[in-house]
């Protein structure tokens, strides 16, 4: 029987343009002193840099990049910039404020009915994933992760002041995941839902473009949520090997998906008539259903509103270990 646990996860994204670079300066909001070595990156991509000793940065991007620009430095609140394409260089002064550490003042080691070892095991299973890719991942800074179990609600939450560093052995990425929220609901036997949000930066460790790694990434991409959304956008569902079913019967997907033309932001609006089973390569794998009348998608694999488009089965089980950068397949990955 297919596990119908649904999962939700998102990365902050915005619309695209044809600009090629963005520059700026990062300062302490209180002292106006430059902040050197602050991280500046496009969320969920391989494109990033760091500020110099004057707090300055310069970063290039292509049309494949539509993510929010993230500015992060230890001990400071992160800044998210979505309108960087419309600003002039003189407007791009970013002020970082010192973080409020009230959350860490909470007693973490109190007896909450579950050992840290067990909490970490459950966290890694649902954060990294149960796939071979997920099992190949290693978190390099587990000690930075704070975990709490709520016995009444049967929820496990996690947070960290520093980015969670994940080394993916199979796909050869080092992922810096700046966690915003993580919560999993534990049923009597299995996890019933997982929600995690955050920003991520991918460092490509496959500098030699090894054939094995390329094949592993291609295998991971095919049949993923990212692949499915891109394929839906291009109306190539059947050509790419997707088959759809309702109550055990094969159906024409375009009788259930209504797909609009492209709007001024490069989005298409999708309406889903009812829940569909998704078959890929002749295997029953996934489910898609929505809690909204319409949702938007783009050609890079983004969709919104994230929390109202639900994937179950194989797509619902995809986690950080099976994730690829947003610019994968567009010549900048």
pLDDT digits (tens, 9 = 90+) for 100-141: 755 454 545 455 788 999 999 999 999 999 999 999 999 999
Give CA–CA dist 124/143, Å, rounded.
13
Selection from 165-174, 275-284, 312-321 with the highest mean pLDDT:
165-174
Q: What is this structure's pTM?
A: 0.80
Q: Half-sphere exposure (CA, 13 Å, Cβ side) for 319?
A: 25
Q: Are 156 and 181 in contact (CB under 8 A)?
A: no
Give CA–CA dist 297/291, Å, rounded.
15
Residue 11: pLDDT band with limits 50, 70, 90:
very low
Give CA–CA dist 253/272, Å, rounded.
10
**Angle at 197 (CA atoms; ends 56, 205), nearest 5 degrees:** 60
Place of tokens 């499915």: 228
Whether residue 87 is predicted with pLDDT greater than 70 in this model: the reply is no
- Position 67 scores a pLDDT of 78
Residue-wise pLDDT tens digits, 34-60: 999 999 998 888 888 999 999 999 988
Mean pLDDT confidence for 293-299 = 93
- Position 124 scores a pLDDT of 96
**Portion of the chain with pLDDT greater than 70, in percent:** 86
Q: Are 9 and 181 in contact (CB under 8 A)?
A: no
- Position 91 scores a pLDDT of 60
Give CA–CA dist 306/68, Å, rounded.
15
Whether residue 322 is predicted with pLDDT greater than 80 in this model: the reply is yes
């Amino acid at each position: 029987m297919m596990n119908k646990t649904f999962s939700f996860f998102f990365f902050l994204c915005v619309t695209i343009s044809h600009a090629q670079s963005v520059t700026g300066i990062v300062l302490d909001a209180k002292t106006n002193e430059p902040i050197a070595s602050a991280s500046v990156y496009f969320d969920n991509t391989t494109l990033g840099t760091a500020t110099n000793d004057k707090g300055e940065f310069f970063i290039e991007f292509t049309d494949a990049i539509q993510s929010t620009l993230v500015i992060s430095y230890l001990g400071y609140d992160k800044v998210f910039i979505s309108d960087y394409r419309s600003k002039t260089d003189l407007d791009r002064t970013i002020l970082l404020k010192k973080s409020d550490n009230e959350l860490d003042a909470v007693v973490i080691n109190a007896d909450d009915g579950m050992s840290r070892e067990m909490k970490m095991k459950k966290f890694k299973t649902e954060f990294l994933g149960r796939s071979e890719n997920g099992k190949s991942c290693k978190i390099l800074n587990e000690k930075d992760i704070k975990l709490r179990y709520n016995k009444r609600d049967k929820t496990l939450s996690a947070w960290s002041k520093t980015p969670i560093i994940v080394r993916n052995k199979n796909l050869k990425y080092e992922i810096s995941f700046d966690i915003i929220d993580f919560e999993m609901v534990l049923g009597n036997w299995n996890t019933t839902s997982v929600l995690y949000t955050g920003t991520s930066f991918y460092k490509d460790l496959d500098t030699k473009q090894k054939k094995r790694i390329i094949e592993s990434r291609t295998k991971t991409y095919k049949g993923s949520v990212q692949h499915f959304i891109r394929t839906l956008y291009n109306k190539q569902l059947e050509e790419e090997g997707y088959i759809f079913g309702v109550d055990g019967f094969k159906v024409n997907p375009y009788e259930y998906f209504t797909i609009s033309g492209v709007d001024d932001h490069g989005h298409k609006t999708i309406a889903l008539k009812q829940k569909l089973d998704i078959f890929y390569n002749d295997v029953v794998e996934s489910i898609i259903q929505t809690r909204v009348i319409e949702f938007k998608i783009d050609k890079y694999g983004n969709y919104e509103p994230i929390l109202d488009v639900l994937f179950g089965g194989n797509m619902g089980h995809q986690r950080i270990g099976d994730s690829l950068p947003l610019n994968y397949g567009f010549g900048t990955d």
